[in-house]
Amino acid sequence: MRLAAGTALVLLALPLAAAAQEEVLRLPSGLEARVHEVLTDRPAGGGLTYRFRFVAEGFEGGEAGLERVMEDLEWLCVTYALPRLSNIGPRPGRVVISLADRPSEFGVYNPAVIQVFEAYRPEGDTCIWEMF
């Protein structure tokens, strides 16, 4: 993976990270997700960003489930990511939530992995969707 100059990517060491990965999160769509990893970076000019990456076996992409997936991503941001921000470090300007059908290496294209992601601005106790 090649990063642009001035960009740092760090895997966050969260307390009880192993336990968090085993925690099953029941999504509004009915899928069950687990935390894959949490990353932080500072894209050039983009400010501090936390990336919460989730895996849900049985997740299928495509246009038909887009509304359902958007609801799942927002739910993960509000109910999982936001409550953990103060335990991670400085408050980020952006939170990116991703959901995939299987674990994958961040930043490495794998055509076998179905993945969606969205960016949110944390504001109080809610996540404001931001288009890329």
The average pLDDT across 116-131 equals 93
Q: Write down the residue that tokens 């983009």 correspond to.
A: 46
Q: Would the pLDDT of 101 be above 60?
A: yes
pTM: 0.81
Beta strand 49-55 with 94-100 is parallel
CATH class of 9-63+70-103+114-130: alpha beta
Which is higher by pLDDT, 64 or 24? Answer: 24
pLDDT tens, position by position, 51-70: 999 999 888 877 767 778 99
Domain boundaries, the chain: 9-63+70-103+114-130
Phi, psi of 96 (to 5 degrees): -110, 125
CB 88 within 8 A of CB 80: no
How many CA atoms does the CB half-sphere of 128 hold within 13 Å? Answer: 6
